[in-house]
Amino acid sequence: MKDRLTRVFQPFVTADRKPNRILRRAPTDLVAVSAFVVVAGALLAILDIASPLVRAAVGFPLLFLAPGYATVSALFPRASPSQRGEATLLVEHTRPITEAERAALAFGLSFGLLPLLGLGIGLTPFGFTTSAVVGAVSIYTLVGVWIAAARRHRIASAERYRFDFGRKLAAGRRAVFDTGSAIHTAVNVLLVVSMLLALTTVGYALVSPQQGAEYTDLRLLTEDGSDEFVASNYSTSVESGEAIPFTVATENQEGEEMEYTVVVQEQWISDGEILERTELERSDYNLDDGSIEYSEQNVTPEAESGAIRISVMLYDGDVPDTPTHDNAYRYTYFTTEVTDETAAE
């Protein structure tokens, strides 16, 4: 009876043990790096987590550890150099490398790879956005992990490199704390904390959303002979009672929708001094971020003769009782001469 039950349940016992055997043989460090890269990419590029602490904690190892570790793992798949000179993927592991050298190379190669990846990003139409940077680093790391896993698979199990987290954590603790001197221990702790803070800050800066300069652009434009807008060809002289056509272009790059008020003002000037102001036109409009508003103007100066200045002032809030260049958010202007043809005759 016992033998019969054993034969019945043996396939299920074997199937149950097979996943455990696969997990024991799997390169846990490469699996962990792959999982971390996927999670980090989702947090930074897809979910766009805004918390500075989360972005720093995730961004630093993603940029300054993961790509270098994948490269080192691909270059050095063995625990010790090959003794048989057998061919492997890429290059042959013939040089001994210590754990400290692996860690140093992981950081160093990561720093060296980022500029190269940046050059690649620069050749794409995506620009240096968070998604582009995180995507490039993640793809490179995952490809490197795949190559490293393939190279380890070609090596006998007893000769493969294995990452023993517990042993390395204990070695690091001994290096920092088992100094025999309280002063040396304090210095070690201070150095480790300072290094982590510095590198974390850099990591956050690189993976944080890159906000461009926030600004509002105000321009005076006229149409040339080919119906194109140009920032020139303003009317230098007009007859009394003649209208002056021009276009006011307002570009919103403030990162949010803005409510603007444009005030067109005639300013009578003499020797650079403003003698009198007259409001000719006022318009209000909402402008989405990244949008440009073209407002056609056709104003008629009230001055009968003399030099005047057509000033366009932009406000992003309440307009003061007396709009001036000093209290405007943006302003621009051009000068013209009003001539009285009747008086000349």
Residue 343 has pLDDT above 60, yes or no: no
Task: Specify the higher pLDDT residue, 179 or 145.
Answer: 145
Amino acid at 55: R
Sequential DSSP letters for 74-87: HH--BSS--SS---
pLDDT of residue 39: 92
What does the block give as tokens for 294?
Answer: 């073209």
pLDDT of residue 68: 92
Task: Specify the higher pLDDT residue, 38 or 16.
Answer: 38
pLDDT band at 206 (very low <50, low <70, confident <90, very high): low
Mean pLDDT of the chain: 80
Q: Flag whether the pTM goes above 0.85.
A: no
pLDDT of 57-105, one tens digit each?
Answer: 788 888 888 999 999 999 888 877 766 555 444 566 667 777 778 888 8
pLDDT of residue 22: 44
Give CA torsion, residues 88, 91, 94, 98, to 10 deg: -110
Q: If you average pLDDT over residues 38-50, what whole number do you get?
A: 83
pLDDT of 289-326, one tens digit each?
Answer: 888 999 889 999 998 888 899 999 999 989 999 999 99
DSSP label at residue 278: E
Task: Specify the higher pLDDT residue, 283 or 92.
Answer: 283
Please tell me which of 25-39, 70-84, 133-147 the model is most confident about, judged by mean pLDDT: 133-147
Task: Specify the higher pLDDT residue, 237 or 195.
Answer: 237
φ and ψ of 221, to 5 deg: -130, 155
Q: Residue 69: CB partners within 8 Å, gap ≥ 6? A: 29, 33, 106, 110
pLDDT of residue 66: 92
pLDDT of residue 12: 43
Are 221 and 195 a contacting pair, CB within 8 Å? no
The ranges assigned to domains in the chain are 2-207, 215-344
Which class in CATH covers the domain with range 215-344? mainly beta
Rounded distance between C-alpha atoms, residue 268 and residue 302, angstroms: 10
Task: Specify the higher pLDDT residue, 222 or 20.
Answer: 222
pLDDT of 101-133, one tens digit each?
Answer: 888 888 889 888 988 888 888 888 777 777 888
pLDDT of residue 275: 86
Give start and end residues of each alpha helix (H) in the chain. 2-25, 28-41, 52-64, 66-75, 99-122, 130-153, 165-177, 182-207, 341-344
Relative to beta strand 330-339, strand 237-239 is parallel
What does the block give as tokens for 220?
Answer: 């005076």
| High-pLDDT (> 70) share of the chain, % | 77
pLDDT of residue 266: 94
